[in-house]
């Protein structure tokens, strides 16, 4: 019951005047998420409902993240991180300052826009992969059938001779949609297996945080930033940028 009350309070807070005055951001996020879901589900009402649930969940996670960062900023007994750039120690940063950097990055609309543009690039690369993979996949499927199951090709050709132009068009569209959906799933699986960076993904939030931490330490060189500290004589690496 307590979780339902907390969820209801969060929903009411999401529609307060402070949040509604940023309607243009909500509308942009809504349509950017709703349109691909509409294409996937084929139902606007289902896509809209799913989009609202996802946005409310994201807003809830954002609020929790901001509360945690504010608590770290206001903590009086905060610890200090050692900062390494390309495995070379370049300085240190207090956890309160680091949390302040993260809060500033997660509150910057420009970072969100940059991340959305990067995700669109990843999507474009995925569609390009599917566009190249569909004819190639059909070709090798045909070769495999011709070698291992020639009777299947014969039956398919016989079936095609009995079809009308309209039915061939409908079957072709249906097969194309199924093949595209399957290849998109395979593309997503490949993204996770080989890493999103292979398809152009860049975490703009980590990039912005890393830039701010290097600036805090007075380091101009680009590279991976690792934050670590010692706890009971044991090194703890909890923040990798």
Given a cut of 90, whether residue 113 has pLDDT beyond it is no
* 198/111: higher pLDDT: 111
Residues 239/81, Cβ–Cβ less than 8 Å: yes
Q: pLDDT tens-digit profile of 22-78? A: 566 777 777 778 888 887 777 888 888 888 888 888 888 988 999 999 999 998 777
pLDDT band, very low/low/confident/very high, at 17 (cuts 50, 70, 90): very low
What's the pLDDT at 97? 93
Q: Are 111 and 205 in contact (CB under 8 A)?
A: yes
Q: What is the pTM of this model?
A: 0.67
Transcribe 166-233 into DSSP letters: HHHHHHHHHHHHHHHHHHHHHHHHHHHHH-GGGGT---HHHHHHHHHHHHHTT----S-EEEEEEETT
User: What pLDDT is recorded for position 106?
Assistant: 93
| Range list of β-strands (E), the chain | 80-85, 88-94, 225-231, 234-240
Is the predicted pLDDT of residue 10 greater than 70, yes or no?
no
Residue 240 has a pLDDT of 47
Q: Cα 120 from chain centroid? A: 10
For 126-170, how does the pLDDT look when each residue is reduced to its tens digit (9 = 90+)? 777 666 666 666 666 666 666 666 666 566 666 656 656 666 566
Neighbours of 209 (CB within 10 A): 22
Work out the percent of the chain whose per-residue pLDDT is above 70: 59
Q: Which residues pair with 81 in a beta bridge?
A: 93
């Amino acid at each position: 019951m307590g979780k339902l009350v907390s969820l209801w309070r969060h929903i009411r807070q999401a529609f307060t005047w402070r949040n509604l005055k940023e309607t243009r951001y909500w509308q942009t996020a809504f349509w950017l998420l709703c349109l691909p879901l509409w294409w996937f589900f084929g139902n606007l009402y289902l896509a809209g409902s799913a989009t609202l649930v996802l946005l409310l969940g994201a807003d809830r996670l954002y609020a929790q993240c901001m509360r945690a960062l504010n608590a770290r900023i206001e903590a009086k007994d905060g610890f200090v991180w050692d900062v390494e750039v390309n495995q070379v120690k370049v300085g240190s940063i207090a956890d309160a300052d680091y949390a302040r950097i993260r809060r500033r990055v997660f509150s910057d609309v420009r970072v969100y826009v940059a991340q959305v543009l990067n995700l669109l690039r990843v999507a474009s690369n995925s569609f390009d992969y599917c566009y190249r993979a569909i004819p190639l996949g059909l070709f090798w499927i045909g070769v495999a059938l011709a070698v291992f199951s020639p009777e299947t090709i014969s039956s398919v050709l016989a079936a095609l001779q009995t079809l009308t132009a309209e039915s061939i068009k409908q079957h072709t569209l249906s097969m194309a949609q199924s093949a595209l959906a399957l290849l998109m799933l395979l593309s997503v699986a490949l993204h996770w297996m080989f890493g999103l960076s292979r398809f152009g993904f860049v975490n703009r939030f980590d990039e912005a945080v890393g830039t701010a931490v290097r600036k805090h330490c007075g380091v101009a060189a680009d590279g991976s930033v690792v934050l670590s500290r010692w706890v009971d004589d044991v090194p703890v690496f909890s923040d990798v940028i």
